[in-house]
Structure 1
Amino acid sequence: MKSMAKEKPEDDKHTDRNFCSCDQKTTCKVESILTIDERGQMVLPKDIRERADIKPGDKLALISWEKEGTICCMALMKAENLSGMVKDVLSPLMNDTGA
Protein backbone atom coordinates (compact mmCIF):
# COMPACT_ATOMS: atom_id res chain seq x y z
CA MET A 1 0.00 0.00 0.00
CA LYS A 2 1.46 3.35 -0.99
CA SER A 3 1.26 6.09 1.63
CA MET A 4 0.77 9.64 0.45
CA ALA A 5 1.84 12.44 2.82
CA LYS A 6 -0.54 15.32 3.28
CA GLU A 7 -0.10 18.63 5.00
CA LYS A 8 -1.26 18.70 8.59
CA PRO A 9 -1.82 21.56 11.01
CA GLU A 10 0.95 22.27 13.52
CA ASP A 11 -1.20 21.02 16.41
CA ASP A 12 -1.74 17.58 14.82
CA LYS A 13 -0.50 14.91 17.24
CA HIS A 14 0.62 12.54 14.44
CA THR A 15 4.23 12.63 13.33
CA ASP A 16 4.98 12.36 9.63
CA ARG A 17 6.42 8.91 10.29
CA ASN A 18 3.25 7.63 11.96
CA PHE A 19 0.65 9.37 9.81
CA CYS A 20 -0.99 7.50 6.98
CA SER A 21 -3.31 9.34 4.63
CA CYS A 22 -4.53 6.36 2.61
CA ASP A 23 -7.98 6.90 1.14
CA GLN A 24 -10.02 5.83 -1.87
CA LYS A 25 -7.72 7.78 -4.21
CA THR A 26 -4.56 6.05 -2.91
CA THR A 27 -2.89 3.61 -5.28
CA CYS A 28 -3.01 -0.02 -4.16
CA LYS A 29 -1.09 -2.87 -5.73
CA VAL A 30 -0.20 -6.49 -5.08
CA GLU A 31 3.23 -6.31 -3.44
CA SER A 32 3.83 -10.00 -2.90
CA ILE A 33 2.17 -13.39 -2.72
CA LEU A 34 2.65 -14.98 0.71
CA THR A 35 2.48 -18.69 1.55
CA ILE A 36 1.02 -19.88 4.84
CA ASP A 37 3.00 -22.77 6.37
CA GLU A 38 1.60 -25.73 8.30
CA ARG A 39 1.75 -23.74 11.56
CA GLY A 40 -0.27 -20.87 10.04
CA GLN A 41 2.74 -18.57 9.78
CA MET A 42 3.89 -16.46 6.86
CA VAL A 43 6.97 -14.42 6.03
CA LEU A 44 6.72 -10.76 5.12
CA PRO A 45 9.48 -10.22 2.52
CA LYS A 46 12.50 -8.19 3.64
CA ASP A 47 12.10 -5.49 0.97
CA ILE A 48 8.49 -4.90 2.07
CA ARG A 49 9.53 -4.72 5.76
CA GLU A 50 12.24 -2.22 4.90
CA ARG A 51 9.98 -0.01 2.77
CA ALA A 52 7.26 -0.08 5.46
CA ASP A 53 9.82 0.53 8.23
CA ILE A 54 8.71 -2.62 10.06
CA LYS A 55 11.22 -3.70 12.68
CA PRO A 56 11.38 -6.74 15.00
CA GLY A 57 8.89 -6.26 17.83
CA ASP A 58 6.61 -3.92 15.85
CA LYS A 59 2.93 -4.79 16.08
CA LEU A 60 0.73 -5.03 12.99
CA ALA A 61 -3.04 -4.68 12.89
CA LEU A 62 -4.97 -7.02 10.60
CA ILE A 63 -7.96 -5.25 9.08
CA SER A 64 -10.59 -7.38 7.39
CA TRP A 65 -13.64 -6.84 5.23
CA GLU A 66 -16.49 -9.32 5.45
CA LYS A 67 -19.06 -10.29 2.84
CA GLU A 68 -21.89 -12.67 3.62
CA GLY A 69 -20.20 -13.90 6.80
CA THR A 70 -16.85 -14.67 5.18
CA ILE A 71 -13.72 -12.53 5.25
CA CYS A 72 -13.06 -11.55 1.66
CA CYS A 73 -10.22 -9.01 2.00
CA MET A 74 -7.46 -8.34 4.52
CA ALA A 75 -4.87 -5.63 5.00
CA LEU A 76 -1.97 -5.11 7.40
CA MET A 77 -0.91 -1.82 8.93
CA LYS A 78 1.36 -0.79 11.76
CA ALA A 79 -0.69 -0.80 14.96
CA GLU A 80 0.73 2.61 15.91
CA ASN A 81 -1.04 4.08 12.87
CA LEU A 82 -4.38 2.52 13.76
CA SER A 83 -5.50 5.08 16.35
CA GLY A 84 -4.92 7.97 13.97
CA MET A 85 -6.84 6.25 11.20
CA VAL A 86 -9.77 5.47 13.49
CA LYS A 87 -9.79 9.07 14.72
CA ASP A 88 -9.72 10.41 11.16
CA VAL A 89 -12.62 8.14 10.12
CA LEU A 90 -14.77 8.68 13.22
CA SER A 91 -14.23 12.44 13.72
CA PRO A 92 -16.48 13.49 10.81
CA LEU A 93 -19.14 11.02 11.97
CA MET A 94 -19.04 12.37 15.52
CA ASN A 95 -19.36 15.94 14.20
CA ASP A 96 -22.39 14.98 12.11
CA THR A 97 -24.21 13.48 15.11
CA GLY A 98 -23.56 16.48 17.32
CA ALA A 99 -21.63 14.38 19.84
Structure 2
Amino acid sequence: MDCCKGPDNLPCCQVESVVSIDERGQMVLPKEIREKSNIKAGDKLALVRWNNTGNVGFIALVKIEDLNRMVQQMLGPALKEING
Protein backbone atom coordinates (compact mmCIF):
# COMPACT_ATOMS: atom_id res chain seq x y z
CA MET A 1 0.00 0.00 0.00
CA ASP A 2 1.45 3.38 -1.01
CA CYS A 3 1.28 6.07 1.66
CA CYS A 4 2.54 9.14 -0.23
CA LYS A 5 3.75 10.33 -3.62
CA GLY A 6 7.07 11.95 -4.45
CA PRO A 7 7.66 14.78 -6.95
CA ASP A 8 7.78 12.30 -9.83
CA ASN A 9 4.39 10.89 -8.72
CA LEU A 10 6.03 7.62 -7.66
CA PRO A 11 5.46 6.25 -4.15
CA CYS A 12 7.99 7.68 -1.69
CA CYS A 13 7.13 5.08 0.93
CA GLN A 14 5.16 1.87 1.15
CA VAL A 15 3.77 -0.35 3.86
CA GLU A 16 5.93 -3.40 3.25
CA SER A 17 4.94 -5.59 6.14
CA VAL A 18 3.20 -5.70 9.49
CA VAL A 19 5.25 -6.97 12.42
CA SER A 20 4.36 -7.81 16.00
CA ILE A 21 6.26 -6.86 19.13
CA ASP A 22 6.82 -9.71 21.57
CA GLU A 23 6.68 -9.53 25.37
CA ARG A 24 10.38 -8.56 25.49
CA GLY A 25 9.80 -5.64 23.09
CA GLN A 26 11.47 -7.37 20.16
CA MET A 27 10.31 -7.70 16.59
CA VAL A 28 11.46 -9.77 13.64
CA LEU A 29 12.14 -8.06 10.33
CA PRO A 30 10.81 -10.38 7.62
CA LYS A 31 13.48 -12.07 5.51
CA GLU A 32 12.19 -10.46 2.29
CA ILE A 33 12.54 -6.97 3.83
CA ARG A 34 16.04 -7.76 5.14
CA GLU A 35 17.09 -9.00 1.70
CA LYS A 36 15.58 -6.00 -0.17
CA SER A 37 17.25 -3.63 2.31
CA ASN A 38 20.56 -5.55 2.42
CA ILE A 39 20.31 -5.86 6.21
CA LYS A 40 22.56 -8.55 7.64
CA ALA A 41 22.95 -10.01 11.14
CA GLY A 42 25.01 -7.63 13.25
CA ASP A 43 24.12 -4.50 11.23
CA LYS A 44 23.41 -1.42 13.34
CA LEU A 45 20.14 0.42 12.73
CA ALA A 46 19.04 3.77 14.13
CA LEU A 47 15.39 4.07 15.12
CA VAL A 48 14.23 7.50 13.95
CA ARG A 49 10.99 8.87 15.37
CA TRP A 50 8.80 11.58 13.83
CA ASN A 51 6.33 13.29 16.14
CA ASN A 52 2.90 14.42 15.09
CA THR A 53 1.34 16.92 17.53
CA GLY A 54 3.14 15.39 20.51
CA ASN A 55 2.48 11.77 19.57
CA VAL A 56 4.72 9.44 17.64
CA GLY A 57 3.60 9.81 14.04
CA PHE A 58 5.80 7.04 12.70
CA ILE A 59 9.19 5.43 13.17
CA ALA A 60 11.79 4.34 10.66
CA LEU A 61 14.85 2.12 10.82
CA VAL A 62 17.92 3.60 9.12
CA LYS A 63 21.25 1.85 8.66
CA ILE A 64 23.91 3.67 10.68
CA GLU A 65 26.09 4.09 7.57
CA ASP A 66 23.21 5.80 5.75
CA LEU A 67 22.45 8.01 8.75
CA ASN A 68 26.11 9.06 8.99
CA ARG A 69 26.13 9.93 5.29
CA MET A 70 22.91 11.97 5.62
CA VAL A 71 24.30 13.91 8.59
CA GLN A 72 27.56 14.61 6.76
CA GLN A 73 25.66 15.84 3.70
CA MET A 74 23.51 18.15 5.81
CA LEU A 75 26.22 19.45 8.13
CA GLY A 76 29.22 19.30 5.80
CA PRO A 77 28.57 22.64 4.06
CA ALA A 78 27.89 24.38 7.39
CA LEU A 79 31.06 22.97 8.93
CA LYS A 80 33.11 24.11 5.94
CA GLU A 81 31.65 27.59 6.27
CA ILE A 82 32.38 27.71 10.02
CA ASN A 83 35.93 26.38 9.63
CA GLY A 84 36.61 28.70 6.69
Q: Same fold (TM over 0.5)?
A: yes
Kindly indicate whether structure 1 or structure 2 has the higher relative contact order, using CA contacts under 8 Å at least 6 residues apart.
1
Question: TM-score range with shorter-chain normalisation?
Answer: 0.7 to 0.9
Higher helix share: 2
Structure 1 unaligned blocks of 5 or more = 1-23
Pick the structure with more strand per residue: 2
> What CA distance in whole angstroms lies between the structure 1 residues aligned with 2:49 and 2:55?
10
In structure 1, how many angstroms separate the alpha carbons of the residues matched to 2:21 and 2:74? 32
Count of residues in correspondence between the two structures: 73
Q: Which runs of 4+ in 1 moved over 6 A?
A: none
Under a length normalisation based on structure 2, what TM-score does the superposition of the two structures give?
0.73
1:57 alignment counterpart: 42
**Counterparts of 1:67 and 1:48, CA distance in 2:** 26
Unmatched 5+ stretches in structure 2: 1-5
**Residue deviations 1:39-95, cap 9 Å, x none?**
111000000001111111001111111233332211011111111111223345x28
* TM-score, with structure 1 as normaliser: 0.63
RMSD, matched Cα? 2.0
